[in-house]
Amino acid sequence: MSSANKLCTSALNHYFELAPPPSGKTLILQGTPGKWNHDHPDLTAVNYLANEHKLWAQQGMTSHPNTKENFDTIVHFATKNATENLVQLGTYSQLLNQGGRWISVVPNRMGASRLKKDILKLFPESENSSKSKCRIFDASCAPDTALARKWASLAKPKAIKGTSLLTTPGVFSADKLDTGSQLLARILEKESFFGSGADLGSAYGYLSKTILDTPRNRIRELVLYELDSRALDCAKRNLQDHQNTEFIWADVTAGVHHCRQFDWVVMNPPFHEAQDQSFELGKTFIREAARILKPGGSLYLVANLHLPYEELIRTTFRSHRTLVEDKGFKCIFARA
């Protein structure tokens, strides 16, 4: 569970000690199980992240990437991405039954003031309160349907300017190509790849496409592992001209699975979660790359310059070297 969702779940646990709990057919949007929804008789969960999907499975429930059913209550866990929140508000408020109730919760440090303005545009009579460093917005009035449709339309995948790569709000680097990934891509264009490879944390497939679009490469298969199902859907569209690809919705930090070890791995791993600066997330990606590579296999990694990965790479891989440092990033090559 992310630190943000932990805060939100704690806030809702306290909020529903006094406020009426969710009733009727209820949707939890991008949220996680908590005391407040334990034993709810008619609950549906929608989320895009494989690790959150696993949390629901542990509670004996299946979560879904989307739904078109109607609900009496919708509980929305907001994110720090303002456009993503607009998409969720617009899309799912249209699924409220007449007289339905909408509840949004967001940590204060993740844009609570901005979300308040947007909530009040959609639900003018929304009430709000503060619990556990979060803001909770509770509305039972009908949403502005025209505004809801407008915001929902923002979910349509669109190409990043200057590219053919499709993205959608909320996925990694949705508005422009990540600088670090561009730096690594320039290196990958000059390398030769063969056999079986993996892209860990592939997002919408930029690094994979760079490799697959290079004519000299002789690749049997390229497997993309991605936490966010929306990003993976974009990757499928971005790589639709390549038949030697496989797309797996997975939490890399929980371990990835394949029938054989890989000849090479590329990745631009995440390095923090919310305010966590332990760098353990990125280190777990590095350990997983070492585990799934064949002896002698290659790792191509891009990371922010300040991230202390070299000592782990030195002790985990047979050899390594820094390929380039530029614009606040470093690209590292390691041999398993």
Give pLDDT, residue 274.
42
Shared domain check, 78 and 47:
yes
Q: Which of 112, 130, 154 is the last residue of a domain?
A: 154
Shared domain for 178 and 315, answered yes or no, is yes
Q: Phi/psi at 131 (nearest 5 deg)?
A: -145, 135
Residues 317 and 176 in one domain: yes
Q: End of a domain among 126, 154, 182?
A: 154
Q: How many domains does the chain have?
A: 2
Cβ–Cβ contacts within 10 Å for residue 126, how many?
18
Quickly count: other Cβ atoms within 10 Å of residue 39's Cβ.
6
The CA R_g of the chain, rounded to the nearest whole Å, is 21
Last residue of a domain, one of 113, 134, 154: 154
pLDDT at position 272, please? 60
Q: What is the dihedral of CA 239, 241, 244, 249, to 10 degrees?
A: 30
Which domain, by its residues, includes 273?
158-335
Do 189 and 324 belong together in one domain? yes
Same domain, 150 and 192: no
Give phi and psi for 107, each to the nearest 5: -60, 145
Neighbours of 36 (CB within 10 A): 20
Report the predicted TM-score, pTM, of the whole model to 2 decimal places: 0.94
One domain for residues 184 and 122: no
CA atoms within 13 Å, Cβ hemisphere of 84: 24
Same domain, 174 and 291: yes
Domain holding 96: CATH number? 3.40.50.150
Structure tokens of 223? 């497997």
CA–CA separation, 76 and 95 (whole Å): 13
196 shares its domain with 98:
no
Residues 268 and 148 in one domain: no
Return the C-alpha torsion angle 90, 9, 2, 154, nearest 10: 0
Q: Nearest CA to 225 among 235, 217, 215?
A: 235
- Burial (0-12, 13-18, 19+ Cβ within 10 Å), 177: middle
The amino acid occupying position 133 is K
**Do 143 and 289 sit in the same domain of this protein?**
no
For the chain, 336 residues long, give each residue's pLDDT as a single digit of tens.
678 888 999 999 999 999 999 999 999 999 988 888 888 889 999 999 999 999 888 888 888 988 999 999 999 999 999 999 999 999 999 999 999 999 999 999 988 999 999 999 999 999 999 988 999 999 999 999 999 999 999 999 999 999 999 999 999 999 999 999 999 999 999 999 999 999 999 999 999 999 999 999 999 999 999 999 999 999 999 999 999 999 999 999 999 999 999 999 999 998 765 444 558 899 999 999 999 999 999 999 999 999 999 999 999 999 999 999 999 999 999 999
The answer on 164 and 135 residing in a single domain is: no
Would you state the pLDDT for residue 275? 44
Based on the domain organization, do 138 and 206 belong to the same domain?
Answer: no
